[in-house]
Amino acid sequence: MKKPARVGLTSVIAAIFSWGASPVSVQAQERYPERSMRLIVPFAAGASTDVMARKLGVALTPLLGQQIRV
């Protein structure tokens, strides 16, 4: 067997054996983030990008369940 094939076969075997090897179970927090989210617009206030970002924040608030401040 050539060296690249051996390395590939070894990688596949290592991946198979490490598939369920993580002993730590991670759970997400119930309410993330706890504070309101900020959407930073790097352009002048009142410009078209600012207006669109504010409309986007209003539309995303009910979907994400968090207040979005621009």
Read off the pLDDT of residues 15-45 as tens digits, 9 standing for 90 and up. Answer: 666 666 555 556 655 666 677 888 898 888 8
pLDDT at 35: 77
In a domain, 61, yes or no: yes
> For residue 50, what are the domain limits?
35-70
Find all residues with CB under 8 Å of 36, minimum gap 6, and list them: 66, 67, 68, 69
CB atoms within 10 A of CB 57: 19
Q: Assess if residue 46 is contained within a domain.
A: yes
* Mean pLDDT value of segment 50-63: 90
| Apex 69 CA angle, 65 and 70, nearest 5 | 135
Task: For tokens 């669109």, name the residue.
Answer: 52
The mean predicted confidence, pLDDT, of the chain is 77
* Domain total of the chain: 1
Inside any domain, residue 8: no
Q: What is the mean pLDDT of residues 63-67?
A: 85
Question: Which DSSP category does 45 fall into?
Answer: T
Contacts of 43 (CB under 8 A, 6+ apart): 49, 50
